[in-house]
Structure 1
Amino acid sequence: MTALAAVGCARCDGALEQGDLRCPLCGLAVSGTEGPRALKVQARVARCDTCGASVAYSVEARAPQCAFCTSVMHVETMTDPVEQAEALVPFAVDPAAARAALGEFLGRRRFFQPSDLAARAAVDSLQALWWPAWGFSAGARVSWTADSDAGSRRSDWAPHAGQAELSFEDVLVSASRGLSDTECTGLAGAYRLGTAQAQPQGPEDAQVERFDVTRSGARRQIQAAVEREAEARLREAHIPGRRFRHVHVAVVLASLRTRRYALPAYVLAYRYRDKAYRVVVHGQDAAVVLGETPVSWAKVMAVVGGVLLGVLLLVLLFR
């Protein structure tokens, strides 16, 4: 579903898309005669009772497990309009490479990690999936204030302010409930969005997580993403000086175009000493691996004991 440029918001003339209940720019409610009517689709999805993620339901999969947290899912029928991904980024990493990436991840030497983790960890499950994200392009007028070392003279800081016209292309905002914001942010930067296709291309058992919010419902996340990106660009090219503090930005969107992406990843669950952990491997770059590892409390206690002993020795020395 692409933006319908001919249909605009009555307040700000922002482009409206099918399924918009409110204008994504100004938040004005869309009347039945003003915007394009949404298509009512009765979608059957499998919903996780633990993390809330939803994936397309197949009658062949009975009591399917959640790909994100391995909990049993229940089946529900959704009568409200369901957002559908229009651009599916293909997998470039196969399951064998994903398992190898997990092995390398577990084999990395981290000080507080158990030394036998790589040898004793057992893979419980590997699930290929596409997680949903909004890709938005926008134009914006950004007003900013900040303190920097430019022109500070004898003082450490000097105040500055200004405005800038910025444009944004294909900035990704997560629409996933199964992956955390940290995981989505870590994965987003390595996708090659130009390879996106209309049909899925990847492992046969790959699942597709569904969009749970409308485009207008994602307005706050999109606005926050624009503000973060705008602040980063201002620090790089617009605010004078080399050191900054108290950077504040105010963004007014002049245009907004969105695209619904489905992005590939592998979610792997492994077990160490009867406790489960999760790792996410990028579907197009196996070097991008995000996840959790157990902590060796023996090493933690050894460090704490060493610090306390050092403090005690210093106290005795000064006495």
Structure 2
Amino acid sequence: MTTAGDPCRRCSSPFEDGDLRCAVCGAASPAPLVDDLAEATVEVLRCEGCGAAVAYCVTARAPQCAFCGSIVRLEVPEDPLEQAGLILPFTVDRSRAEESFRQWQGGLGWFRPADLRSASRLETLRALWWVGWAFDVDALVSWTADSDAGASRADWAPHAGQTELDLDGIVVSASRGLTPRETSRLLPSYDLGSAREREPGDEAEAVVEQFELRRAAARRQVRSELERLVAGRLRNGVIPGRRFRNLHTSVLARRLVTRRLAFPAWVIAYRYRGALYRCVLSGQDAACLLGEAPIAVARVLLAVLGAVLGVLGLAGLISLIAS
């Protein structure tokens, strides 16, 4: 692991504090100290199905992937791996997770099978931590835009300015086991302020995913998210007026703090009439659950048929009135 200012041996670009690889060319950082090496070189369990990797722990036996249920194999990566330093604790226990899942099944609506809740069988209910980056940014933003403020003869008037913005808690998922749709739905349910230092015994409670996203790639995603957040802040009280167009920004990050976080979740697999479905529940909010469920084809066809008959009946009535 590097310290700020260390040059890359391949392209001479400076490393930032904690970088394991060069953000420009991808070369590995200089050989870490023995203490850091013990933290970075780990055994992982790699899923042969979805490709996700989780930390290996003797006490937490995991012959199946916690994300998709496929077979996992032991792997010792040659390159050092990023690992979560902070963990958000579980506040939803196993019994509450199962209760929330059953309630979710019962409230899916008319287009689902009527016997879904009674006929489905819970296969697995696994606790895990998926991983992501959290960024805190202090930025100086230069902007130009047109707005309706100050416009006398025209509809628009030009404006420009600079403002300082503090944007904390920008999270980028580094998970391979969960989809971007799943992580984006889960993120609002978490309390980032509850994060604590990772402890050796955490792997016995739930598996911890390994980082699959390099910091350079995460920063590119953060830049895109930062531009979106900055535009929203500028439109909400910084740029004068009520209507805006042609907004252009230049963001200078004066301070960038990164944290590696592990987010708690329950991954649920259930079977209905031979087919397997997956759900994901937030480990801190039992109401935040998303997943897959079968469709009652007969009910869908009945609804379509009813709609068609209704349209035909309405058309016939209009034709009768017109004649």
Query: Taking structure 1 as the reference length, what is the TM-score of the superposition?
Result: 0.81
Q: Which residue of 2 aligns with 1:85?
A: 84
Is the Cα–Cα contact under 8 Å of residues 133 and 172 in structure 2 kept in the other structure? yes
Separation in structure 2 between the aligned mates of residue 310 and residue 106 of structure 1, nearest angstrom: 31
Does 2:280 align with 1:280? yes
Q: State the shift of 1:91 in Å.
A: 1.2
Q: Which amino acid aligns with 2:315?
A: V
Deviations 1:195-219 (A, max 9, x none): 2222347684410000123322322
Q: Which residue of 2 aligns with 1:16?
A: 16
Deviations 1:225-255 (A, max 9, x none): 2223323333433355667778765544333
Distance 1:303 1:315, change over 3 A: same
Q: Which residue of 2 aligns with 1:215?
A: 215
Name the larger-Rg structure.
Answer: 2
Separation in structure 2 between the aligned mates of residue 145 and residue 111 of structure 1, nearest angstrom: 51
State how 1:43-58 maps to structure 2 within 5 Å: 43-58=42-57
Q: Which residue of 2 aligns with 1:7?
A: 5
Higher helix share goes to which structure? Answer: 2
Distance 1:300 1:150, change over 3 A: farther
State how 1:35-114 maps to structure 2 within 5 Å: 38=32, 41-58=40-57, 64-114=63-113
Separation in structure 2 between the aligned mates of residue 181 and residue 20 of structure 1, nearest angstrom: 24
Deviations 1:14-41 (A, max 9, x none): 9812234345xxxx55999xx8755554
Is the Cα–Cα contact under 8 Å of residues 55 and 203 in structure 2 kept in the other structure? no
Separation in structure 1 between the aligned mates of residue 304 and residue 152 of structure 2, nearest angstrom: 45
Moved more, 118-127 or 244-253: 244-253
Runs of 5+ in structure 1 lacking a partner?
Answer: none
Separation in structure 2 between the aligned mates of residue 272 and residue 233 of structure 1, nearest angstrom: 46
Does 2:186 align with 1:181? no
**In structure 2, the residue corresponding to 1:43 is in which secondary structure?**
coil
Moved more, 299-308 or 144-153: 144-153
Separation in structure 2 between the aligned mates of residue 149 and residue 115 of structure 1, nearest angstrom: 55
Moved more, 126-135 or 239-248: 239-248
Q: Which residue of 2 aligns with 1:227?
A: 227
The size of the alignment, in residue pairs, is 309
Separation in structure 2 between the aligned mates of residue 313 and residue 189 of structure 1, nearest angstrom: 46
Separation in structure 1 between the aligned mates of residue 62 and residue 264 of structure 2, nearest angstrom: 23
**In structure 2, the residue corresponding to 1:219 is in which secondary structure?**
helix
Distance 1:120 1:87, change over 3 A: same
**In structure 1, the residue corresponding to 2:80 is in which secondary structure?**
coil
Deviations 1:61-118 (A, max 9, x none): 7772111111112222201121111111111111111111111111114232222221
Distance 1:224 1:14, change over 3 A: farther
Distance 1:277 1:245, change over 3 A: farther
Q: Which residue of 1 aligns with 2:237?
A: 237
Moved more, 38-47 or 286-295: 38-47
Moved more, 257-266 or 67-76: 67-76
**In structure 2, the residue corresponding to 1:78 is in which secondary structure?**
coil
Q: Which residue of 2 aligns with 1:293?
A: 293
Separation in structure 2 between the aligned mates of residue 309 and residue 160 of structure 1, nearest angstrom: 56
Is the Cα–Cα contact under 8 Å of residues 142 and 250 in structure 1 kept in the other structure? yes
Moved more, 284-293 or 233-242: 233-242
Moved more, 37-46 or 108-117: 37-46
Is the Cα–Cα contact under 8 Å of residues 20 and 80 in structure 2 kept in the other structure? no
**In structure 2, the residue corresponding to 1:79 is in which secondary structure?**
coil
Deviations 1:243-286 (A, max 9, x none): 77787655443331101011111111111121111111111221
Distance 1:238 1:8, change over 3 A: farther
**In structure 1, the residue corresponding to 2:76 is in which secondary structure?**
strand
Identical amino acids, percent of aligned pairs: 43
Query: Taking structure 2 as the reference length, what is the TM-score of the superposition?
Result: 0.80
Separation in structure 2 between the aligned mates of residue 248 and residue 308 of structure 1, nearest angstrom: 49
Is the Cα–Cα contact under 8 Å of residues 97 and 286 in structure 2 kept in the other structure? yes
Separation in structure 2 between the aligned mates of residue 232 and residue 69 of structure 1, nearest angstrom: 37
Separation in structure 2 between the aligned mates of residue 146 and residue 300 of structure 1, nearest angstrom: 49
